[in-house]
Structure 1
Amino acid sequence: MEWQLAWRLFKRELAQGQLLLIVLAITLAVLSVSGLARVSERLQVAINGEAATFIAADRIINSPVAVDPKLLAIADELSLKHVTNMQFNSMVYAGDKFQLVTIKAVGEAYPLKGKIELSSGETSALPSKGEAWYENRLGGLLGYPKSLELGNSILTLSAEISRLPDGGFNPFASAPVLLMRLDDVNATGIIQPGSRVSYIYQFTGDTDALAEFEQQAKPLLNNSQRWVDVQSGDSPIASAVKRAERFLLLASLLGIALACAAIGIAAQRYCQRHYDVVAMLKTFGASAKQIRLLFGLHLMLVTLLGIVLGLLGGLLLDLAITQFLPPEIAAYSPPYLRPFLLGMSTGLISAFMFSAYPLMRLLAIPPLRVLQRQLEGLQLGMWLHLLLSLGAMALLGYLYSRSIALTMTVVLTVLLLGLLLSILGFVMIRMGHSVGMKTTNPLQLALAGLRRRARQNAVQLVGFSSALVLLLTILALRQDLLNEWQKQLPEDAPNYFLVNIAPEDTQPLQQFLDLHQIQATDIYPVIRGRLTHINGEELISGEQQDAGMTGRVGISRELNLTYRDTLPPNNPIVEGTFNLADDEVSVESGVAERLGLVLNDTMTFNIDNQSFTVKATSIRNVQWETLQPNFFMIFRPKALDKFNYTSMASFHLDDDKLKQAGSQLSANAVVLQLIQQFPTISVIDVGAMVGQLRQIIDQVSLSLSLVLALVLLASALVLIAQTEAGMATRQRELAVLRTFGASGWLLRSATGLEFALLGAIAGLLAVIVAEFALYMLKTQVFELVVYMHWPWWIIAPLSGAAVVSILGMWRCRQLLNQSCSDLLKAG
């Protein structure tokens, strides 16, 4: 019986359009989660996949010794592709010339991601047995021989390398690279017990298999073995990828929050519409159990319809967006199961938990409401509604993001937002009490309407302002991220590095750059030194710690140090004051954190067997992605100028810039002249890497725009839902005003002004809360520069007034055009 009645009620209300809002709200929530999950995961997988070309694999294990064979067996069980490489330094000889080189001995499957770039073009091949490929610098240093001697072997030099996919970016690594087959290493006789060798194990495969491999492999690694991926800091775009993923998760969570808010508003409206139905059913003798079953089944049918439509919409959204994605992104296809399950869970959880309290109020409607329509039954338990709503949002947020920190940030922000907006909104509306009693003109009538509906309008302000806050937050973060990446990689980002600049070449080099109108960075002196003590305590290495020695762990290698009188670009001071005295040093924040350094700690360095002590008086943030010379430690000139040094610099050079300067030479020709004039200076071309970085940043920018569009859609539905929520009360008021002779022009003007005032107040409050939310997010999550968005203080209230008044007038257009009798009949 209840099934049949629920089905008939569902069909009738669906046909009449009374269920449209709640079905749309559930549909949007499911569509947001399933569609955003699918799109975001595709973009995340694509971004990480493209970024993985910087390390030539998805995951890497870097080890000073051969790893436990169990690790490779696990990779085989998970169907992961893997390749073993070795890297070490050695001397090579060609005739009477010799040179220290970095030997990169690679396995057959190398590279797993990306391609080797030779001077003749890209290739997927490797050197043949007995052959080697050389970095172009090595050819110039040895006089371009046809072969060279490495240990007991003579290797034929068959090709010149322009770039290796995992070549990384280390301008301090002055030793050129020689690429050979791993099978040829034994014949050289170079690797002996005790030799310093890095074993590099590269892996690639399915995302789930990689995650499982990481879970099983990491516990088997010791302190000297490193797990590397594109976010581990070894990639030059690690920061960009991390921030992009955080943004995608945050934007998706905000989209879910907005969709849940729309469900909550729609559910309240749904229950209010059935107050009279419940009162009549109780009057006719229906039991509480029958009524609960009837409306439970009815709500279930509504929820299932919303879920089905939402899943279809999410699938169509993914298919539609895929058509506009670049082929390299569209080629990635994450699994459908997780987005599908997330969509279904979202529909069920949000519909139940956001509808629980309104449904309780609905079922508690007394039969006497048939005679006294102002009766609404249960008035307590709002705390339960808030708890269920926040619980639903937190649960859905965690299921989606799998990040407790990010989920709690959003939930706490929403809670604070709702509380603050409710208080401020109610106070500001009550301020119109005295002027709101007169209704002789549209403004006074609008203020009177705000006062009469003070409680309802305070709730509406929460909805309007929440949508605007989230929209402003997403817009600002997206723009700030894009601006940050643009600053890191502007059009004139350096594409050439000069290292090993001798002191006597500094002035002639500057003259050469000035002659060709090349704008270079400052020329930085580079001195290698080792940090030996902190606050007088001798530091130990990681290897010594593994061997059982106790003490403070330092940095197990020499550092590249520099000195300056002024702070370099992109090195903002976060603590202290930049070097004022000769015995002071400025420390990069990451190294300070790793070493446990605080301001005024003393540090002892050893350079050329000479020790000296300085005091850490400032800590800097360094933007390593700018592809400009950067250093962990910066001293005053008098602290280091007594030591031998070489220098380095970087510059941007392309054919267009040379033409603008009136030069007839190409960029390659100028670089060739530089190499010929300064044969001891190493020129490193990073142009290809800069181009690849820009391509990935473009893909990230596209993903931010797509997610922003979906959040815009969710914001619009919340605004519509809030406008819809007050229609019944407004209809009765319009009927009364029509009865007392109010003209159509007066009612239309007053209604428009009322919505405009609501929108303006919502916009103003949204700016206040958005600035606070952005401060928290930028400082705690995204590590971005905080600043005030002053234009918002004018634009947001005006935009809020325009948008809310347009939506309100559009929704009220039929009521405003009805006659007094029609309004009374409908009410």
Structure 2
Amino acid sequence: MEWQIAWRLFKRELAQGQLILIVLAITLAVLSVTGLARVSERLQVAINGEASNFIAADRIIDSPVELDSQVLTVADELGLAHVTNMQFNSMVYSGDKFQLVTVKAVGEGYPLKGDIELSNGVTRALPSKGQAWFENRLGGLLGYPKSIELGNSELSLTEEISRLPDAGFNPFASSPVLLIRLDDVAATGIIQPGSRVTYLYQFTGNAEQLTAFELQAKPLLNNSQRWVDVQSGDSPIASAVQRAERFLLLASLLGIALACAAIGIAAQRYCQRHYDVVAMLKTFGASGKQIRVLFGLHLSLVTLLGIVLGLLGGLLLDIGITAFLPPEIAAYSPPYLRPVLLGVSTGLISAFMFSAYPLMRLLAIPPLRVLQRQLEGLQLGMWLHLLLSLAAMALLGYLYSRSLALTMTVVLAVLLLGFLLSVLGFVMIRFGHGIGMKTTNPFQLALAGLRRRARQNAVQLVGFSSALVLLLTILALRQDLLNEWQKQLPENAPNYFLVNIAPEDAKPLNDFLSLNHINATDIYPVVRGRLTHINDEELISGKQAENGAEGRVGISRELNLTYRDTLPPNNKLLEGKFNQAADDVSVESGVADRLGIILGDKLTYSIDNQSFSVKVASIRQVQWETLQPNFYMIFTPEALAPFAYTSMASFHLNDAQLAADGSLLSANQVVLQLIQQFPTISIIDVGAMVEQLRQIIDQVSLSLSLVLALVLLASALVLIAQTEAGMATRQRELAVLRTFGASGWLLRASTGIEFALLGAIAGLLAVIVAEFALYMLKTQVFELVVYMHWPWWAITPVAGAVIVAILGVWRCRQLLNMSCSEMLKAG
């Protein structure tokens, strides 16, 4: 019986348009979450897929010993493609010349991702047996011989390598690379028990395979084996990818917040529409159980319709946006399952948890309302409504983002908005308390309307402010991220590194760079040393700590140290003063946090078996993503004067470079001249990596722009839904005012002013909450510079007033054009 009544009520109200608002709100919620989830997951997979070319695979296991065969068996069972490589250092000989090289022995199938760039083109082939491909630096150092000796083998040098896809970026690893087949290693006789070898096992597959492999393989690894992916520190774009992924998660999370705001508004309006229906049903003898079942079924039908429409809209949105994406991004297609499940969960959880309190009020409507329409039944329990709403938002946010920091930031921003509404919004709306119902002045009439609808306006402010907060937050973060990346990779970013610069070559090298109009960084001395004590407490290695040794864990390797009198570019002083006294040292903030180093600490180092101590005078923040020399520790020249050093620098070389004699030379010609003049200096070409990195950043920028457009669309829909919510009450008031002789001009002006005031208040609240949210996000999630957006404080209230006034007047245009009799009949 209840099912039949619920179905008839649903069909009738749907045909009459009475369910449009709540169906639109649920549809918006599911569409936003499904669409944003699908688009952001596609972009995340594409960004990671393109970025994985930097490591020539999706995942790598780096091991000093051969990998347990059980791990490879797991990879085979999951259908992952994999290849085994070895890397070790050795001397090669050609006649009376010799050179230390990094031998990269690769298995069949290498590279799994990306291409090998040779001087004569791009290939995915490998050297033939008995052949070796060489990095261009090695050819210059050995005089371009036809063959070389490596251990017991003689290898033909057949191709010159411009770049390997997994070359990585380590300017201190100055040995040129020699690429051979893995099958040729045994014949060299170099690898013996105890030899220092790095085994690199590369894997590639789809997201599900990789996730399953990570879960099964990681427990099988020992402490000396490392799991590497594009987000590990080995990747030069790790920071960019991680920040982009966090931004996409945040944007989708804010989409969920928008959807929740829309459903909360619509649920309240839905229940208000049925107050009279419940009163009549109770008057005709319906029991409380029958009414609960009736409206539970009715709300379920509404929710189901909204979910179906939202899922269809989300999938169409994904198809539409994919059509405009570059082919390399559109080619990636993650599974539909998670976005669809997330959309359905969002529709169900938000619809019922945001409707719980309004539904309680609806079911508590007394039968006497049939005679006295001002009766509304249950008035207590608003705390329950707020608790359920916050719980729903937090649950959905965490289910989506799986990030407690992001979820808590959004929840705290909502709490702050609620607090401000209870203080600032309430005071400003009550400002018109003594104005009454004067109709001679549209401004006074607008203030009176704000006061009469204080509760309804507070709900509207939530919707307006939420939309503006989300827009401001997304807009600011997108711009800050783009600015950060552009600063890291300007057009003249260094594309060559010079290492092993002897002290006597520093001045001639500077002269060469100046004469050839080459834009270079300063030349940085490099001294290898180990940090042994902090405040006279001996440091232990991570391995010693794992074996049960007690003490402070240090850095289990030698560091590259430098000295300098002035703060380097791309370094920001956080604490103290930079190197004032001879025994001062400046420490990078990350390593300071990791080792618990503070200002004034005494650090002891060992260099060439000599110990010396310095005092921590400053803590620096370093932008590691910039392709310029950066260091953990910077000393004064006096502190490192007793020790031998080599130097390094980086520079930018144009495709066509003006030479010292005024002629134009290609970049290769300039590099060749440099090699000939300074044969002991090692030159590392990172130009191809810079270009690939720039392409990844361009794709990330496109991703941020698309997500911003989606949030703009969702915000506009929330504003429209919010404006729709108060139309019934406003229609009755306009009818009364027309009856008492108010002119059409007065009503139009007062309505516009009332909406403008609401928009201005919402804009002011939005700025306050957005500044708070941005502070939390920048300090806790994105690690960006915090600053105030002062123009917002003037622009946003004005923009809010204009946008909300236009929306409000546009939505009320039919009411404002009606005659008094038409309004009374419609009401």
TM superposition score category, shorter chain reference: over 0.9
CA contact 2:657–2:665 (8 Å) conserved in 1: no
Change (3 A) 1:759 1:605: same
Q: Which residue matches 1:92?
A: 92
Which amino acid in structure 2 is aligned with residue 298 of structure 1? H
**Structure 1 residue 542 displacement after superposition:** 3.8
CA contact 2:84–2:199 (8 Å) conserved in 1: yes
CA contact 1:223–1:542 (8 Å) conserved in 2: no
Which amino acid in structure 1 is aligned with residue 132 of structure 2? A
CA contact 1:573–1:621 (8 Å) conserved in 2: yes
Say whether 1:113 aligns with 2:109.
no
CA contact 1:422–1:461 (8 Å) conserved in 2: no
Change (3 A) 1:363 1:192: same
**Structure 1 residue 761 displacement after superposition:** 1.3
Shifted more, 739-748 versus 568-577: the winner is 568-577
CA distance in 2, matches of 1:212, 1:664: 55
Q: Deviations over 1:74-98 (max 9, x none)?
A: 1112111111111111111111111
Change (3 A) 1:34 1:805: same
Q: Tell me, which stretches of 5 or more residues in structure 2 are unaligned?
A: none
Which amino acid in structure 2 is aligned with residue 615 of structure 1? K
Q: TM-score w.r.t. structure 1 length?
A: 0.97
CA contact 1:21–1:266 (8 Å) conserved in 2: yes
CA distance in 1, matches of 2:702, 2:555: 40
CA distance in 2, matches of 1:659, 1:147: 33
Q: What is the SS of the residue equivalent to 2:538? A: strand
Q: Which residue matches 1:603?
A: 603
**Structure 1 residue 576 displacement after superposition:** 2.9
Q: Which residue matches 1:675?
A: 675
CA distance in 2, matches of 1:659, 1:102: 32
Q: Which residue matches 2:422?
A: 422
Say whether 1:719 aligns with 2:706.
no
**Structure 1 residue 671 displacement after superposition:** 2.5
Change (3 A) 1:94 1:660: closer
For 1:441-590, list aligned pairs within 5 A. Answer: 441-545=441-545, 549-590=549-590
Q: What is the SS of the residue equivalent to 1:540? A: coil
CA distance in 2, matches of 1:83, 1:620: 41
Aligned length: 827
Shifted more, 606-615 versus 655-664: the winner is 655-664
Which amino acid in structure 2 is aligned with residue 357 of structure 1? Y
Q: Which residue matches 1:256?
A: 256
Q: What is the SS of the residue equivalent to 1:334? A: coil
CA contact 1:236–1:624 (8 Å) conserved in 2: no
Q: Which residue matches 2:141?
A: 141
**Structure 1 residue 703 displacement after superposition:** 1.2
CA distance in 2, matches of 1:540, 1:787: 40
Q: Which residue matches 2:239?
A: 239
Q: What is the SS of the residue equivalent to 2:569? A: coil
Change (3 A) 1:106 1:550: farther
Change (3 A) 1:178 1:767: same
Which amino acid in structure 2 is aligned with residue 149 of structure 1? E
**Structure 1 residue 179 displacement after superposition:** 0.9
CA contact 1:517–1:661 (8 Å) conserved in 2: no
CA distance in 2, matches of 1:436, 1:248: 49
CA distance in 2, matches of 1:400, 1:590: 30
**Structure 1 residue 661 displacement after superposition:** 12
Say whether 1:318 aligns with 2:323.
no
Say whether 1:384 aligns with 2:391.
no
CA distance in 2, matches of 1:605, 1:268: 68
For 1:658-807, list aligned pairs within 5 A. Answer: 658=658, 663-807=663-807
**Structure 1 residue 709 displacement after superposition:** 1.5
Q: Which residue matches 1:44?
A: 44
Q: What is the SS of the residue equivalent to 1:611? A: strand
Q: Deviations over 1:584-606 (max 9, x none)?
A: 11112222233332322222122
Change (3 A) 1:662 1:31: farther
**Structure 1 residue 554 displacement after superposition:** 2.6
Change (3 A) 1:432 1:517: farther
CA contact 2:58–2:229 (8 Å) conserved in 1: yes
Q: What is the SS of the residue equivalent to 2:616? A: strand
**Structure 1 residue 667 displacement after superposition:** 2.8
Shifted more, 498-507 versus 306-315: the winner is 498-507
Change (3 A) 1:386 1:503: same
Say whether 1:75 aligns with 2:72.
no
CA distance in 2, matches of 1:69, 1:554: 33
Which amino acid in structure 1 is aligned with residue 642 of structure 2? K
CA contact 1:38–1:336 (8 Å) conserved in 2: yes
CA distance in 2, matches of 1:731, 1:635: 75
Q: Which residue matches 1:406?
A: 406
CA distance in 2, matches of 1:393, 1:769: 17
Q: Which residue matches 2:273?
A: 273
Q: Which residue matches 1:229?
A: 229
Q: What is the SS of the residue equivalent to 1:472? A: helix
CA distance in 1, matches of 2:149, 2:820: 102
Change (3 A) 1:678 1:10: same
Which amino acid in structure 1 is aligned with residue 726 of structure 2? G
CA contact 2:119–2:161 (8 Å) conserved in 1: yes
CA distance in 1, matches of 2:403, 2:720: 31
Q: Tell me, which stretches of 5 or more residues in structure 1 are unaligned?
A: none
Shifted more, 676-685 versus 691-700: the winner is 676-685
CA distance in 1, matches of 2:538, 2:294: 77
CA contact 2:94–2:149 (8 Å) conserved in 1: yes
Q: Deviations over 1:631-656 (max 9, x none)?
A: 11111111113322222211222136
CA contact 1:51–1:230 (8 Å) conserved in 2: yes
Change (3 A) 1:380 1:657: farther
CA distance in 1, matches of 2:604, 2:647: 23
**Structure 1 residue 547 displacement after superposition:** 5.7
CA contact 1:589–1:621 (8 Å) conserved in 2: yes
CA contact 2:29–2:347 (8 Å) conserved in 1: yes
Q: Deviations over 1:90-121 (max 9, x none)?
A: 11111111111111111112111111111111
CA distance in 2, matches of 1:635, 1:421: 53
Over aligned residue pairs, what C-alpha RMSD do you find?
1.8
CA distance in 2, matches of 1:224, 1:455: 63
Q: Which residue matches 2:165?
A: 165
Change (3 A) 1:602 1:439: same
CA distance in 2, matches of 1:548, 1:64: 22
Which amino acid in structure 2 is aligned with residue 618 of structure 1? S
Q: Deviations over 1:711-748 (max 9, x none)?
A: 11221122122212222221121111111111000110
CA distance in 2, matches of 1:62, 1:750: 71
CA contact 1:84–1:200 (8 Å) conserved in 2: yes
Shifted more, 804-813 versus 219-228: the winner is 219-228
CA distance in 1, matches of 2:700, 2:791: 27
Q: Which residue matches 2:178?
A: 178
Q: What is the SS of the residue equivalent to 2:134? A: strand
**Structure 1 residue 411 displacement after superposition:** 1.8
CA distance in 1, matches of 2:144, 2:695: 34
Shifted more, 611-620 versus 755-764: the winner is 611-620
Q: Deviations over 1:599-620 (max 9, x none)?
A: 2222212223322111222222
**Structure 1 residue 187 displacement after superposition:** 1.1
**Structure 1 residue 436 displacement after superposition:** 6.0
Which amino acid in structure 2 is aligned with residue 796 of structure 1? T
CA distance in 2, matches of 1:421, 1:248: 29
Q: Which residue matches 2:16?
A: 16
Change (3 A) 1:315 1:612: same
Q: What is the SS of the residue equivalent to 1:553? A: coil
CA distance in 2, matches of 1:403, 1:508: 53
Q: What is the SS of the residue equivalent to 1:101? A: strand
Which amino acid in structure 2 is aligned with residue 56 of structure 1? A
Q: What is the SS of the residue equivalent to 1:56? A: coil
Shifted more, 726-735 versus 469-478: the winner is 726-735
Change (3 A) 1:283 1:546: closer
Shifted more, 759-768 versus 587-596: the winner is 587-596
CA contact 1:516–1:663 (8 Å) conserved in 2: no
Q: Which residue matches 1:5?
A: 5
CA distance in 2, matches of 1:113, 1:677: 37
Q: TM-score w.r.t. structure 2 length?
A: 0.97
Which amino acid in structure 2 is aligned with residue 74 of structure 1? V
**Structure 1 residue 224 displacement after superposition:** 1.6
